[in-house]
Amino acid sequence: MIRPILKYGDEVLHDPAREVEQVTPEIQRLIDDMVETMYAAPGIGLAATQVGIPLRIFVVDLSIGRDPAGLITMVNPVFVERSGMQLEEEGCLSVPGFNATVARPLHAVVRGLDREGHPHEVEGRDLLARAFQHEMDHLDGTLFLDRLQGIKKQMIVRRIRKQMRANRW
């Protein structure tokens, strides 16, 4: 089932998510819904908080569904390692229509549970490391806009508020 994606301004996006106590059939259905929602958007990553569920779960697929082996599911993820730095433009399904350059790690290793509840660890470089940090930020209540400063952030927030006032957000 495709779920609505929350947008910037919704308080749930700014609250840290709680750990999943057990991977149950309900959690697996949530993961299925998240994957379907991410592909429909289309996007390369989605955190449970973005669909209004404050649990520490994210899905990432750089192939956007073209490679079945490309789907990564992380339940209760933690960083094992982060190194390097990359400056690239990124966007967010919760901030549609806006992009900005954000500093992210060049390399990241994330450990968590897979959709079956088994421990696994995934290493990412470049775009995958960026996606891991982006989704982990969501689980901590941070959006990419929160990492911006100065005029760029002010411009984006002002344009979003204008869209909100016009009921187009």
Q: What is the CATH number of the domain that holds 18?
A: 3.90.45.10
Provide the domain count of the chain: 1
Q: Is 3 within a domain?
A: no
Q: Is 4 within a domain?
A: no
Q: Is 150 within a domain?
A: yes
Q: Is 1 within a domain?
A: no
Q: Is 101 within a domain?
A: yes
**What pLDDT, in 10s, does the model give residues 32-70?**
999 999 999 999 999 999 999 999 999 999 999 999 899
Q: Which residues are catalytic?
A: 135
Of 169, 137, 141, 140, the closest CA to residue 156 belongs to 169
Cα 165 to the center of its chain, rounded Å: 26
Q: Identify the pLDDT of residue 68.
A: 87
* Angle at CA of residue 65, ends 128 and 30, nearest 5°: 85
Q: Identify the pLDDT of residue 80.
A: 98
Are 41 and 6 within 8 A, CB to CB?
A: no
* Residue-range definition of the domain harbouring residue 138: 11-165
Distance between CA atoms of 48 and 169, rounded to whole angstroms? 20
Handedness of CA 97, 45, 105, 49 (dihedral sign): positive
Q: Is 74 within a domain?
A: yes
**What pLDDT, in 10s, does the model give residues 72-111?**
999 999 999 999 999 999 999 999 999 999 999 999 999 9
Distance between CA atoms of 3 and 71, rounded to whole angstroms? 18
Q: Is 2 within a domain?
A: no
Q: Is 95 within a domain?
A: yes
pTM of the model: 0.96
